[in-house]
Amino acid sequence: MSEQEDQADGPSEESIYDVPPQPAPEPVPEPQPEPEPVATPAPQVAEIVPPRKKKIGIVGWTIRVVAAFFIFSIGSVAIHRFVPVPVTFLMIERLFQGYGIDHRWVSADRISDNLKAAVIASEDQKFCSHNGFDVEAIQKAQAYNATHKRKRGASTISQQTAKNVFLWPDRSWVRKGFEVYYTFLIEHLWPKDRILEVYLNSVEWAPGVYGAEAASQHWFHHSAATLSKAEAAKLAAILPDPLKWKATGSGHYVNVRSGTIQARARAVDNDGLDSCAAD
C-alpha cells in the first residue's frame, strides 16, 4: 500500500498521538454556604415603674382639713366684707320649722340711725370701742350664772354677727369656740359700721323675719329708714326672744324694756354712732 493510500484512510496511529491532550476542565468551586445572620440583641428598655403614692396618715389629713378650713373661713369673711349675706343657718332651720323666710337686705344708709342707736344701747353699749369682746360683761355674766338657774349672756354685737352669719344656732362649746375665731376675723377684716350693717340685716326679728327692713315692714308697715325712736326701741327690745315677744301689742315687760332702751339710746346717738363710722 502506498503512502497516499494510507493518508486517505485517515490518520495513522502515530498521528493520533501527535494531537496534544486537552487540559482537564477546572473544577467548579462548590458554593460556599452563606453565613447565618448574627442576631442583633434588642435594645434594653428600662422598665418604667410608677412612683408609689405616699399614704396620707391621720396627721396629714388633719393638716389638710385645718388648712382648708382656714382658707375657706378667711375667704368667706373677706367676701362678705363687700357682698350681702344671702342666707344663714338660722334661716334654713326656721324654714324647716315652717316659719318661711322674709329677708330683705338694705344698705346701712337705708336703716334709721334711731335703730342703730337703740340696738347698740340694748345689746352692746361698748360696741364702738371694744375689739369684739366685752371682758367686763363676760365676768359679770359668769358671776351671775354661777348663782342663778336662768343664764345671762354677754355676747357682743360682733359675736352675734359671727354666730348669725357663719355658724349654726347651738349652745355647745364647740360652736362657741368657732364664734370666738370668727369674731376675731370680722373685727380685723371689717370696719365697725360694716359689722353693724350685717348684724341689722341678718338678725331675726319675728318668726321667719330677718333684717331691719323686713322687721320694719312686718311690725310697722313702713321702711326701716323712717323708724321713729319709739319704734326702734321696740324692735331692739324684742331681740333676745323674737319668737315670743312682739314689737306691737307688746306686754308690760317689752314696754318697760323699750322705754329703758330709748333713754340709753340718746347717749349712743350723740357720740357712739360717729365713733363707729370713723372706726
User: What DSSP line would sit under 6-33, residue for residue?
Assistant: HHHT---HHHHTTSPPPPPPPPPPPPPP
Q: What share of the chain is helix, strand, coil (3-state, %, to 5)?
A: 55, 5, 45
User: Which amino acid belongs to residue 118?
Assistant: A
Report the pLDDT value the prediction gives residue 188, as an integer from 0 to 100: 96
| Residue 23: inside a domain | no
| Residue 18: inside a domain | no
Distances (CA, A) of 138 to 23, 52, 166: 137, 54, 22
SS3 244: coil
pTM (predicted TM-score):
0.78
Question: How many domains are there within the chain?
Answer: 1
What nine digits make up the cell of 160?
Answer: 352675734
| Residue 35: inside a domain | no
| Residue 6: inside a domain | no
| Residue 30: inside a domain | no
Report the pLDDT value the prediction gives residue 239, as an integer from 0 to 100: 96
Report the pLDDT value the prediction gives residue 148, as an integer from 0 to 100: 79
| Residue 19: inside a domain | no
Full domain range(s) for residue 230: 70-100+113-125+133-278
**Residues contacting residue 231 through CB under 8 Å, at least 6 positions apart:** 114, 216, 219, 220, 247
Report the pLDDT value the prediction gives residue 277, as an integer from 0 to 100: 67
| Residue 54: inside a domain | no
Tens-level pLDDT at each residue, the chain (279 residues): 555 555 555 555 555 555 566 666 666 666 666 666 666 666 666 667 677 767 778 888 899 999 999 999 999 999 999 999 999 999 999 999 999 999 999 999 999 999 999 999 999 999 999 999 998 888 888 888 888 777 777 899 999 999 999 999 888 899 999 999 999 999 999 999 999 999 999 999 999 999 999 999 999 999 999 999 999 999 999 999 999 999 999 899 999 999 999 999 988 876 667 767 655
SS3 204: strand
The whole-angstrom separation of Cα 212 and Cα 236 is 10
For the chain, the residue count is 279
| Residue 107: inside a domain | no
CATH at 158: 1.10.3810.10
